[in-house]
A and B are shown apart, each in its own frame.
Chain A
Amino acid sequence: AQTVTQSQPEMSVQEAETVTLSCTYDTSESDYYLFWYKQPPSRQMILVIRQEAYKQQNATENRFSVNFQKAAKSFSLKISDSQLGDAAMYFCAYRSPNTGNQFYFGTGTSLTVIP
């Protein structure tokens, strides 16, 4: 089974600064999908950004962008101009199109934004 690793249990960033959350995964598949989800204190999981493995271009959604390194099996999330509302738990997720739509989640990174 695929595994997703988030090696940073906690991170902090000063408001308006940039922070990068790391995610690595293990797979033998060539085609797959990657996601970052945000879980604020309200607890609902919200999709932040998504990436198709066969696309070289890194996905961007406003202040959120990814650094996708397929060969290194790395999928980091960069948050620019951090805001207080970015404080949350962030989960990296892998979706396999070949195992019945199965998803694999990392253990999460708790992000604190310092005013």
Chain B
Amino acid sequence: DAGVIQSPRHEVTEMGQEVTLRCKPISGHNSLFWYRQTMMRGLELLIYFNNNVPIDDSGMPEDRFSAKMPNASFSTLKIQPSEPRDSAVYFCASSSRLAGLGELFFGEGSRLTVL
């Protein structure tokens, strides 16, 4: 079975540019999570969706960040405009309450560097 698929794996951009990170959850999973990981702040939950509906976006740093889930098989995290402090690894994860204990399955992450 295909796992959670994220793209791009690496992104280097300049301050002020728009960044779009993409995620395809595991088929059949109804929850999707976006996390950000940095050395300073560790693993932070940005936003999560249940059945394509955003449930908690309190972790989204500011208005420059937005996330969408137009359907059950695709989600995007957009940063506009990007800033150097946004440099981090961004993880997408999905889960299903009907599978196991609803554990998270993570993608390989997107490493973002903003110059």
Contact = CB atoms under 8 A, between A and B. Distances in A.
Interface in B27-81: 31, 33, 42-43, 45, 48, 50, 55-56
Contact of A52 (B56, B101, B106): B101
B109 A101 contact: no
Nearest to A52: B101
Interface stretch (A11-19, A64-72, A91-99): A91-99
User: Which of A43, A46, A103: most chain B Cβ within 10 A?
Assistant: A103
B95 interface: yes
Interface string A76-115: 0000000000000001010101001111010110000000
B23 interface: no
A108 B103 contact: no
Given A95-B102, A101-B55, 10 more contacts: A35-B101, A35-B103, A37-B106, A45-B106, A50-B101, A95-B103, A101-B102, A102-B48, A103-B45, A107-B42
Interface of A: 33, 35, 37, 42-47, 50, 52, 91, 93, 95, 97, 100-103, 105, 107-108
Interface of B: 31, 33, 42-43, 45, 48, 50, 55-56, 89, 91, 93, 95, 97, 100-109
The 7 closest A-B pairs by CB, nearest first: A45-B106, A33-B101, A100-B55, A44-B108, A101-B31, A50-B101, A107-B42
